[in-house]
Amino acid sequence: MRDARTLNDYMARYLSADHLEGLGDGCVIAALAGDMPRQGATIRHRFTDAIRGMGKKIAGLAPGAPGPRMSALAIVATMVGALILARAVDDQELSGRILGAARARLSSP
């Protein structure tokens, strides 16, 4: 996703079946978020930097958006939350619907 040129491209790749199934090379934020409260300060600081970096990347892809920093954080939260939930359920159809719902919500004006 580092090479995404548009926000829609970034979101489509992040919320894709390929990313969902790519557990070994997928988003470290989604993979580790639930464990962060139990980690030490150094690890949590690095995780925080990763969140900030993702938000900055997204804000850079939507420079004309009103309040891009706040919007970027909402997009990060929506995408990561959707990926976590889609990976957690044992129903493939529901998993796809979760990703689709997040894509649709984020694509809405």
The full set of domains in the chain, from first to last, is: 7-107 (1.10.357.10)
- Considering the chain, what is the average pLDDT of its residues? 88
pLDDT of residue 33: 92
End-to-end CA distance of the chain: 22
SS (H, E, C) the chain: CCCCCCHHHHHHHHCCHHHHHCCCCCCHHHHHHHHHHHCCHHHHHHHHHHHHHHHHHHHHHCCCCCCHHHHHHHHHHHHHHHHHHHHHCCCHHHHHHHHHHHHHHHHCC
The per-residue pLDDT for range 16-57, each reduced to its tens digit, is 988 988 767 788 899 899 999 999 999 999 999 999 999 999
Predicted local distance difference test score (pLDDT) of residue 66: 56
Residue 61: pLDDT band (50, 70, 90) is: confident
Q: What is the pLDDT of residue 3?
A: 79
% of the chain residues with pLDDT over 70: 88
Residue with tokens 């990976």: 87
- What pTM does this model have? 0.86
Q: Which burial class, exposed, middle or buried, applies to 28 when counting CB atoms under 10 A from its CB (0-12, 13-18, 19+)?
A: exposed
| Residue 95 amino acid letter | S
